[in-house]
Structure 1
Amino acid sequence: MGLYVETRVRAGLETLWERTQAPDRHQRWDLRFTEITYLPRTDGEPQRFRYATRVLPFLTVSGTGVAAGERERPDGTRTSALRFSSAHPLSLLAEGSGYWRYVPDGDGVRFLTGYDYRPRWGRFGALADRLVLRPLMGWATAWSFDRLRLWLEDGVTPERARLNWLAELALRALAVVAAGTVLALRPAELSPALAYLVPLLLALTVSAALFAPPSPRTPAARRCLRTPPVRSRAPRVLHTLELPR
């Protein structure tokens, strides 16, 4: 799989499964989706669904998918897999597949995903994917996993977590702008010692704004593992799913 993200959540396996498998819960924490709707199905068939993602205030792209899960496995883990596609002409993402794994680990669960997709628009799409979409998708997945972790471990709702992140982002940006303004407007008659000290303090301020650890109640992609510790294979159930059309 092209993208991999893993986090460890101190929560029960059943609770984590419910927060990730129920569409109304899933769409609250996953930044990649604005809406997820399950379609009617008969017993024994994979679950089909529709999804929508608001890319811009005036642009929403949609697609369809099919998913299947394994709640009971001999090793005590759980797995779900999906295939998805979008016929929307403005969707760079054409089709793809992925999986989630739930691995009990002491008082928590290792929750991990691997997925990949095919971009459209030929060479331009491949370049846009490599430079923009793929890094953005990796970051959005990791950020969302950490938002889910905060919800389960600390009771920080996804909506509150987003507000915390926006507020912290605004404070960091304000610190950078303020430091730049002070540097540009500092008096020319400063003593040599102060003339040297002011840029140093401003550089420290900017560094802190850019690189200081996020608040414990703010989601952060950096908290997630982005490279599999061992070579990871897609679950067998993924190969039983046909690409939705």
Structure 2
Amino acid sequence: METALTIAGSDSSGGAGIQADLKTFSALKVYGMSVITAVTAQNTTGVRSIATIPTNIIQDQMEAVLEDIPVGAVKIGMLSSSHVIKTVVSTLVNVKATNIVLDPVMVSKSGHHLLEYEAVQTLKEDLIPIATIVTPNLPEAEAILGRKILCEEDMKEACQQLNELGPKYVLLKGGHLEGDPVDVLYDGTEFHHFYQERILTKNTHGTGCTLSSAIAAHLAKGNSVVDSVHLAKEYITGAIQHSISIGQGHGPTHHFHQLW
């Protein structure tokens, strides 16, 4: 049985965060485990409040899993502070964790800041360098790099700048640009472009969490990074096409669209 571990925040509405990650792992036939870094009170209209889990509890959760169960891949989502980031990094480095997928969650779809401003530097210096692949959207990449990204050529330049921070691969998601979206994958040498038609739906809650956890699941199953991204893109596209219209805001994607 392949396994994957998600280190992220909890979403009380079930569409993003830990809940989305575990649903994705299950849908892709990987045994999922979790380390909860924060508890959020949120629904489809936005985030109401956040409580960060104490770092000693985060470390205990990680060590409890890592000391007992082999972990094929690690997906990292919401880490709200520098202290949390440093705790996660030191624990993963100590166990020589591999297949680390970093989704640098910074701001929720409703505009709620999920990462403290001063923690961005810690993210750049400590966490990004240990990632196998980092998967920012355009606003996240802009916050990390301190520059605007306005077109596909800008995306390629941003991928190169992000790669210089140390990850093996960068997947820059272009959904915030107008027109049909393109995602750009860069391995330090070669670019891979993933084009698709824009799916016209407001139900996109948790898409970033779902894509990154799908990449982790496919890495855990032994696929290459390029193949894992390709397969994960197919999965998230189907999940958005069959998204669920619940709630008064942005509904969730359908994690089990292939099974239902």
Is the strand fraction higher in 1 or 2? 1
| TM-score band, normalised by shorter chain | under 0.3
Q: Please say which structure displays the higher CA radius of gyration.
A: 1
Higher RCO (C-alpha 8 Å, min separation 6):
1
State the TM-score, normalizing by the size of structure 1.
Answer: 0.27
